[in-house]
Structure 1
Amino acid sequence: MAQQEARKGVMYGLSAYIMWGCFPLYFALFDGVPAWEVLIHRVLWSSVFLAIVITFLKRWQPVKMALAHPEKLGFVLGCAVLIAVNWGVYIYAVESRQVLQASLGYFLTPLVNVGLGMLVLKETISRLQIVAVTLATIAILYQLFLLGVVPWITLVLAFSFGTYGLLRKKVALDGLSGLFVETLLLFPVGMLALAALSYAGLSHFTENTATMLLLISSGIVTAIPLLAFAGAARRLRLSTVGFLMYINPTIQFLIALLVFSEPLSPEKLTSFIMIWTALAIYSWSAWNGRSKTAAQ
């Protein structure tokens, strides 16, 4: 039975990360629609879709309990803002054909998690993990000083998602309920923004049927992998989920090169190699630590 659940977990995890990896192809369809407008619709339609899912699964009780105590929703609101920033910057990266920078951000995220765990939660980490975080830092500084460019997309994506994970640990809600409450807190802001856009005549929602359907689909398409990820996280070890995570930025990296034909200079490639080496060191350390724990 446990083996069957683990297999299900792997399938859910693979589905989530492959879908996330293919998102550049999806968001590239929103040609001419600003990233922030796509984000507004993503919030609104995710709320609608998740409300339907929660109704179907009869999971309203934890949502009602959370909303009954708004004074305790500080961390949930923080999560909502961080994931909105993450999505907004990611959509912008795709629309501006900077998917390589986006993929580097998601390669960097596990190392940011390690660094935040050490600095904020005072977690003890191994020497190899310290080496990995240091090497990742050097890779970013390399881009900053040698390329003369602040890789802000990479940094915002890595730190917003890393900090989101940190705050999510403080939230008692399960994956589905937490995701819905997060989205629901942004719903009024999304409605006001949409009303302002419509009033100013800048909304693309009624431009044509194809754009309207795309914007509606954004809520469903972005929510499905999050639900699959929640299913994987419940059934798998954290380390297994961590290893599967590399599928997402790897697919994005290949799409950037093979589909969008983004230029990969030797300097950019060097920074990627540094991050990949850091991830290999981190993965080896995590795997080694798990093996030792299992042997005890």
Structure 2
Amino acid sequence: MTDEVKGVLAMIGACTVWGLSGIYYKLLDDVPPIEILCHRTFWGFIFFLCVLAIQGRLRALPMALNTPRTFGIVAIAAFMISLNWFVFITSIHLDHATEASMGYYIFPLVAVLAGAVFYKEKLNRPQLISVALATVAVTILSFGLQVAPWVALILAFSFAVYGVVKKSLATGPVVSVTAEVAVLSPFAIGWLAVIHSRGEGHFGAELTTTLMLMLAGIITAIPLILFSYAARRVSMASIGLVQYLNPTLQFLVATLIFREVFTLWHAIAFALIWTALAIYTASSWRRGRAARKAARAAATSGTAL
């Protein structure tokens, strides 16, 4: 099995965990989202510490936070990812999983827009068309439902900003995510201490719920590690294509398992978004192939010389 095949399988594994995680959080429907988020953060931190200890890289953690600039960047990234996690968990509890899947569908298009705004990256025609179609989709859904799809917008933009911030960090993905949950953990522990002092905490009250709250950290960590493994072995075009498995599984879970309402306005909006993604993905795939051909041609020319 080649490294690329292993990378694709790792990416499929990560997206499958992300796509089906809504089922897991639905089973914790009796636990407030903020409490789940705190446990997800704390136990994720413990798990990542164990991973770094096994790898012999614990010293890399304080180095990722050793200057005010890097600490500030990590803090912003931590806030954005915690906002993303909290809104996603809340959307599951409030029966807005369909809208959450829309957020992760439009995220790549928002990321393209963020690249243009923050890094002055020029958008080609297919990208402009894709962003325009996504904008029309959100506008139509807002008009039809008489309310903006805030869940989708917050998820897409918070993850896009998270990506923009992460680009300025030189540390590896596992170390940087560990640093993020390290920054968040004192707040998580503080909030858990408050609710348990009031007798409102769910941890320890019942075995199944307690174990599920602990495992929420592992469910957070494992797909990130798989994604990191895949990113080093698979082309960005392939990663971009496979990552649509995540919102697709979320959409299927929302409509087929959770039986959420799916109106005509949803159908129109999703059709536009899927069209936008098809245009965007086809364009990215063609550009990726052209770049690989150019690289092979240059290599062949260099060998001939």
TM-score range, shorter chain: over 0.9
1:288 aligns with 2:280: no
| 1:83-98 matched pairs, under 5 angstroms | 83-98=81-96
| 1:182-201 matched pairs, under 5 angstroms | 182-201=180-199
Q: Displacement, 1:193?
A: 0.7
| 1:8-157 matched pairs, under 5 angstroms | 8-157=6-155
Distance in 1 (alpha carbons) for counterparts of 2:62 and 2:270:
45
- Of stretches 143-152 and 175-184 in structure 1, the one that deviates more from structure 2 is 143-152
- Of stretches 274-283 and 145-154 in structure 1, the one that deviates more from structure 2 is 145-154
What amino acid is aligned across from residue 70 of structure 2 in structure 1? K
Q: Displacement, 1:71?
A: 4.2
TM-score normalised per structure 1: 0.96
Name the SS of the counterpart of 1:253 in structure 2: helix
Q: Could you report, residue by residue, the CA deviation over 1:228-249 in whole angstroms, capped at 9, with x for unpaired residues?
A: 0111111111111111110001
Report the aligned-residue RMSD.
Answer: 1.2
Q: Could you report, residue by residue, the CA deviation over 1:23-82 in whole angstroms, capped at 9, with x for unpaired residues?
A: 111111102101111000111111111111111111123213223334421111111110
Q: Displacement, 1:146?
A: 2.7
What amino acid is aligned across from residue 200 of structure 2 in structure 1? L
Q: Unmatched 5+ residue regions in structure 1? A: none
Distance in 2 (alpha carbons) for counterparts of 1:295 and 1:230:
26
What amino acid is aligned across from residue 93 of structure 2 in structure 1? E
Distance in 1 (alpha carbons) for counterparts of 2:58 and 2:148:
44
Q: Counterpart in 2 of 1:250?
A: 248
Q: Displacement, 1:294?
A: 2.5
8 Å CA contact retained: 1:143, 1:150: yes
TM-score normalised per structure 2: 0.94
Number of residue pairs aligned between Structure 1 and Structure 2: 294
What amino acid is aligned across from residue 124 of structure 1 in structure 2? K
Distance in 2 (alpha carbons) for counterparts of 1:212 and 1:262:
28
Q: 1:160 aligns with which of 158, 161, 166?
A: 158
- Of stretches 110-119 and 54-63 in structure 1, the one that deviates more from structure 2 is 54-63
Distance in 2 (alpha carbons) for counterparts of 1:162 and 1:284:
21
- Of stretches 90-99 and 103-112 in structure 1, the one that deviates more from structure 2 is 90-99
Q: Counterpart in 1 of 2:299?
A: none
Name the SS of the counterpart of 1:22 in structure 2: helix
**Closer, same or farther in 2 for the Cα pair 1:112/1:35, shift >3 Å?**
same
Distance in 2 (alpha carbons) for counterparts of 1:252 and 1:164:
21
Q: 1:266 aligns with which of 264, 267, 289?
A: 264
Q: Displacement, 1:128?
A: 1.0
What amino acid is aligned across from residue 11 of structure 2 in structure 1? G
8 Å CA contact retained: 1:126, 1:285: no
8 Å CA contact retained: 1:243, 1:283: yes
**Closer, same or farther in 2 for the Cα pair 1:71/1:121, shift >3 Å?**
closer
Q: Displacement, 1:163?
A: 0.9
Name the SS of the counterpart of 1:120 in structure 2: helix
8 Å CA contact retained: 2:13, 2:226: yes
8 Å CA contact retained: 2:70, 2:169: no
Distance in 2 (alpha carbons) for counterparts of 1:193 and 1:145:
38
What amino acid is aligned across from residue 99 of structure 1 in structure 2? A
Q: Unmatched 5+ residue regions in structure 2? A: 295-305
Q: 2:176 aligns with which of 174, 178, 197?
A: 178
